[in-house]
């Protein structure tokens, strides 16, 4: 997985998902499958990590893409649109947000 750095030209996307503890594992399974079989094979994909809070009510997805346009193109594919509809049934809300790395600390 690439290092988080301020001089990195990659696009960072952090997506947060809110769900009940009872659906956390189902959503995590859906996200794992999406990355294994589809997202990681899309042009411009660099890396991703899934994080679950202790209460199993939130998942944070940190991903890196070569370019902003690559991430947007992946979202617009028919397959990802269908996957997002399924993901939407497993959580209260989810929101992908693009970020620039402002500062890093070692």
CA dihedral 11, 64, 90, 33 (to 10 degrees): 140
Q: Mean pLDDT per segment of 10 residues, for the chain of length 106 residues?
A: 76 96 96 98 97 97 96 97 96 94 87
DSSP result, the chain: -PPP-TT--SEEEEEEEE--GGGHHHHHHHHHHHHHHTGGGSTTEEEEEEEE-TTSSEEEEEEEES-HHHHHHHHHSHHHHHHHHHHHHHSSEEEEEEE-------
- Predicted local distance difference test score (pLDDT) of residue 1: 55
Residue 45 forms beta bridges with which residues?
A: 65
- Predicted local distance difference test score (pLDDT) of residue 4: 78
- Predicted local distance difference test score (pLDDT) of residue 39: 98
Distance CA 25, CA 23 (A): 6
- Predicted local distance difference test score (pLDDT) of residue 2: 60
Residue recorded with tokens 């944070």? 60
């Amino acid at each position: 997985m690439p290092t988080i750095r301020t001089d990195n030209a990659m696009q960072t996307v952090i997506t947060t998902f809110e769900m009940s503890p009872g659906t956390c594992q189902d959503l995590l399974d859906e996200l794992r499958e999406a990355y294994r079989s589809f997202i990681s094979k899309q042009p411009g994909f660099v890396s991703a990590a899934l994080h679950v809070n202790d209460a199993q009510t939130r998942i944070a997805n940190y991903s890196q893409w070569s370019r902003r346009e690559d991430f947007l193109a992946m979202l617009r594919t028919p397959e990802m649109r269908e996957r997002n509809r399924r993901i939407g049934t497993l959580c209260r809300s989810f929101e992908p947000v693009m970020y620039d790395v402002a500062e890093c600390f070692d």
